[in-house]
Amino acid sequence: MLEDVVGGSLTELGLLAEPIRVERGIGTPSSRPGHGIVVDMAAVRAHALTPEGVRRGFSAASKD
């Protein structure tokens, strides 16, 4: 089973080294061993959360 969120899939977010092809609702698996998904760790690290960033996000939202 594959969840394909339009605009928010790992492929569309640029987080995979090789995109997952989905055509007419059917995902085509890679021929790589295992599940075949290759994550682009540099892209993931670019979106990493830091404790400071999380705190800043919460403090900006609370306007007491």
Long-range contacts of 41-47 (CB under 8 A, 24+ apart): 43/13, 43/14, 43/15, 44/15, 47/15
Give how many domains the chain has, as a whole number: 1
In angstroms, the CA 23 to CA 21 distance is 6
What's this model's pTM, rounded to 2 decimal places?
Answer: 0.61
Domain range for 11: 1-64
4-13: pLDDT as tens digits = 678 888 888 8
| Residue 28 phi, psi (nearest 5) | -100, 115
* Helices marked H in 1-64: 41-45, 51-61
Average pLDDT, the chain: 82
